[in-house]
Amino acid sequence: MTATVRQTRNGAVMVLTIDSPPVNALGAAVRAGLAEGLAAAQADPSVGAIVLCAVGANFSAGADIREFGRPAPRGVPGLPELCNRIEASGKAVVAAIEGTALGGGLELALAAHVRLAGPRARLGFPEVALGLLPGAGGTQRMPRLTGAGPALRLMLTGKPVPAQEALAIGLVDAVVEDAEQTAVALAADLAAGRKTPVPTRDRQEGLRDAARYQAEVLSARAGTAGRLPAPGRIVDCVEAALLLPFDRGLVLERAAFEDLAAGPESAGLRRAFFAERRVAVFPEADARANPVSLVGLVGLGATGAAIAALLLQAGLRVAAVVKGSGPLDAGLRRVSALLDQAEAAGRLSPEARAQAQARLSSAPELTALAGCELVIEALPEDEALKASVLGKLGQILRPGSVITTTVSWLDPARLALATGRPADVVGLHLCPPAERMRLAELGVSSQTRPEAVATLAALMRRIGKLPVRVGAAAGLVGNRVMAALRTAADLLLEEGASPSQVDAALQDFGFAMGPYRALDLAGLKRAWAHRQRESRAGRPGYGGDLADMLVGAGRLGQVTGRGYYLHDGQGVREDPEVLGLLGELRSAKGIAPRRIGSDEIRLRCLGAMANEAAKVLGEGLAQRPGDIDAILLAGYGFPRWRGGPMAWAADRGLLVLRADLRRFAPQAPEFWAVAPLIDDLIREERHLDDLDMRPVSSG
Ligand code: HSC
């Protein structure tokens, strides 16, 4: 007997219980255990029926994603084969689904003859988020039960449905209070009557209305025109469930799955999946997170209001402090508008919205925050203003409360000193729009106490953010890496490219928006102020000259109708005036413009990001390459299916990347200087991926 699957007897019923923490993924050992249990049940004449169930919060999270791309162990059936064996069992198989049944986990249940779900069960096909499709019969079995519409919805959105909805669409046969107990009783009945219900492959109810089925396929196909291949292949397979015999449909599904699993898009998405999970491991992760129910918020600008709205929606109380009745009213209106949006989107019921609003209080003075367990200072990027408020908070707050300072480019370690209690301070960077972007970078200094980090991380998770722990430093990690991209882009403009060429090349790579469109949207003022500060501090840096000329000409971006582009009634257009300014800049620098192709644009921009990321890693500001990828994916619109800038660098290879950087260096030697970490890894014959596996160290 394999330890990951327990075989127990209950009269004539053999119960096979999957017990493979943390999520009951269907790796080789579990599949072997299930196959063994199934064979034992078939061979034993005293067994009349079988129950499939699991322990823990998940029935099963599906196939073990770590096994993809590795050779299958000999003698262990693959998941498709295992599902076929379950379905072909002469003895009835009843699946008892408690918790989540995802992907291959749901396919296992679909191969059973009866499915019972507990009231809190959730069922779904998240494969599409990994660039895959259900590859163990799901695309052929589910439509036979539910028709094309529900099957396509689950497979194309990747979102699980709760038990009652699964019942309504015909995905499960009943929702019962204790799924395992009921399954055993039902299996005993089936065993007594020697009955095996119709296997899913022979069920027809979902296929009967062929015209409707085809219409649903057609309408789903219209939405699959994007960059990723999986959605189109899902639609093909679901269509095949109607048109082809079951076994031929399985062959088609298998081929599509193997194609997708071998493709670069799925590789990138799987990498992103693991990177986002690995960020949960950091030196302070096991420290005690203080319970938080009342959060103080200083400032209700765009970021502050977004944080307030998210906290209120998550059931927390918020005490906001804003100086002046005008700014306070404006801030409260922002919070209300965000709660309205949440209600309109169905994320809050009208009652929940009213309750959320009632949990918000406001005051003009910081002393109102004395009772807060955690305070978030969300004032504009003005060091003197922030330092003065943080100093007062340091005096007002009880010992043990956590002080969070939101930063864009300011160094949270420096700001922490202003409180007089730096151990309690954590920096926080949220990307705009803060109500939507998932990233929460936590800037931790050598003085920060672990409980403060754990408390803020837990709070961020509660409001739906992905907390990534980084070292406290100016710009933290994300802004620094993005600044390198912008510098590389600016240098390309000086050499001959236009803003629209750069944007098009990066959008073609998969960025939602190129850097100049993004700058126009965010406004040019903030980046300009940062350059001014850097220049005053004796760190002038490369690039930025055109941006300075634009700001000087009052072109502040979309808000003023003009920035890198013209924004008027005719949309966003290239502006000859900007190209003229660029010409002047090149002449002043004595640069003869050259034609630059899209490949070179991408290579330079991504090379600059990867090199900066390697510097950040070498400085110990990020724990792992995957953390940097997670930051860029969750906060900065880096295309998820590309895996992130470090994934890009790993694919390109460090030697090739180093040669690229050396080639670019003459124009801006300090900027393109190869990160010492890249040289070290090359010398030690190691790879970036090796650093993802190293244990995290504190400090
Ligand atoms: C699939 O099923 C494909 C099949 O259709 C076909 C296969 C056919 C093959 C044919 C061959 C030719 N695998 O998220 P958490 C790890 S594709 C491996 O923090 P939670 C995770 O990395 C799969 N590992 O927990 C972490 O590990 P760490 C479709 C998996 O309670 C730990 O488990 N399924 C894993 O917050 C805890 O994870 C999915 O995409 C997996 N499938 O959430 C489901 N799933 O501690 C993905 C998790 O070492 N999983 N891990 O860092 C989830 O959505 C969430 O994990 C849950 C639990 C909601 C299940």
DSSP string spanning 396-444? HSPTT-EEEEE-SSS-HHHHHHHHT-GGGEEEEEEPSSTTT--EEEEEE
Q: Whose CA is nearest to atom 45 of ligand 1?
A: 61
Query: 579 CA to middle of ligand 1, Å?
Result: 50
Q: Whose CA is nearest to atom 31 of ligand 1?
A: 23
Residue 629's nearest CA partner among 618, 619, 620, 614 is: 614
Q: Give the Cα separation of 136 and 105 in Å (integer).
A: 10
The residue length of the chain stands at 699
Q: Give the Cα separation of 542 and 548 in Å (integer).
A: 12
Read off the tokens for 199: 């296997």
Query: 316 CA to middle of ligand 1, Å?
Result: 30
Q: Give the Cα separation of 699 and 697 in Å (integer).
A: 7
Q: Whose CA is nearest to atom 55 of ligand 1?
A: 61
Q: Whose CA is nearest to atom 25 of ligand 1?
A: 23
Counting atoms of ligand 1 from 1, which one is nearest the CA of 273? 22
DSSP category for residue 57: S
Q: Whose CA is nearest to atom 51 of ligand 1?
A: 23
Query: 16 CA to middle of ligand 1, Å?
Result: 21
Mutate-to-test residue for ligand 1 from 65, 125, 252, highest number of ligand atoms within 8 A of CB: 65
Query: 63 CA to middle of ligand 1, Å?
Result: 7
Query: 661 CA to middle of ligand 1, Å?
Result: 37
Residue 413's nearest CA partner among 425, 404, 429 is: 425
**Where are any strands of DSSP class E within 407-543?**
425-430, 439-444, 466-471
Upper half-sphere CA count for residue 480 (Cβ side, 13 Å): 24
Rg for the chain, CA atoms, rounded: 28
What does each C-alpha distance from 663 to 486, 489, 647, 648, 660 come to in angstroms? 19, 16, 22, 19, 5
Q: Give the Cα separation of 613 and 625 in Å (integer).
A: 8
Q: Find tokens 């002047």 and name the residue.
A: 584
Query: How many angstroms separate the first and last alpha carbons of the chain?
Result: 45
On whether the CB atoms of residues 505 and 556 are closer than 8 A, the answer is no
Q: Spell out which residues line ligand 1, taking CB within 6 angstroms.
A: 22-23, 25, 58, 61-66, 78-80, 100, 102-104, 107, 126-127, 130, 132, 134-136, 138, 257-258, 274, 277-278
On whether the CB atoms of residues 260 and 133 are closer than 8 A, the answer is yes
Q: Whose CA is nearest to atom 53 of ligand 1?
A: 61
Q: Whose CA is nearest to atom 40 of ligand 1?
A: 126
| pLDDT score, position 695 | 61
Residues belonging to the active site: 107, 127
Mutate-to-test residue for ligand 1 from 234, 277, 640, highest number of ligand atoms within 8 A of CB: 277
- Cis omega (within 30 of 0) on the bond before 432? no
Residue 60's nearest CA partner among 126, 3, 145 is: 126
What does each C-alpha distance from 280 to 170, 412, 466, 468, 486 come to in angstroms? 37, 21, 9, 8, 29
Residue 617's nearest CA partner among 680, 670, 669 is: 680
Q: Whose CA is nearest to atom 49 of ligand 1?
A: 278
Query: 129 CA to middle of ligand 1, Å?
Result: 11
Coil, strand or helix: which one is 121?
Answer: coil
Edge-to-edge strand ranges of the sheet holding 174-175? 5-10, 13-18, 49-54, 92-97, 114-117, 174-175
Counting atoms of ligand 1 from 1, which one is nearest the CA of 138? 5
Q: Give the Cα separation of 310 and 333 in Å (integer).
A: 15
On whether the CB atoms of residues 405 and 377 are closer than 8 A, the answer is yes
Counting atoms of ligand 1 from 1, which one is nearest the CA of 104? 2
Read off the tokens for 56: 């823990």
- Return averaged pLDDT per consecutive 10 residues of the chain, 699 residues in all: 83 98 96 97 97 97 92 92 97 97 98 98 98 98 98 98 98 98 97 88 96 98 92 98 98 97 95 96 96 97 97 97 94 97 95 97 95 96 95 96 95 96 98 95 97 98 98 95 96 96 98 94 86 82 90 94 93 94 96 96 98 97 97 97 97 97 94 97 93 64
| pLDDT score, position 262 | 94
Counting atoms of ligand 1 from 1, which one is nearest the CA of 107? 5
Query: 338 CA to middle of ligand 1, Å?
Result: 33
On whether the CB atoms of residues 35 and 85 are closer than 8 A, the answer is yes
Q: Find tokens 């959730």 and name the residue.
A: 122
The rounded Cα 566 to chain-centroid distance in angstroms is 33
Q: Give the Cα separation of 621 and 552 in Å (integer).
A: 35
Query: 686 CA to middle of ligand 1, Å?
Result: 28
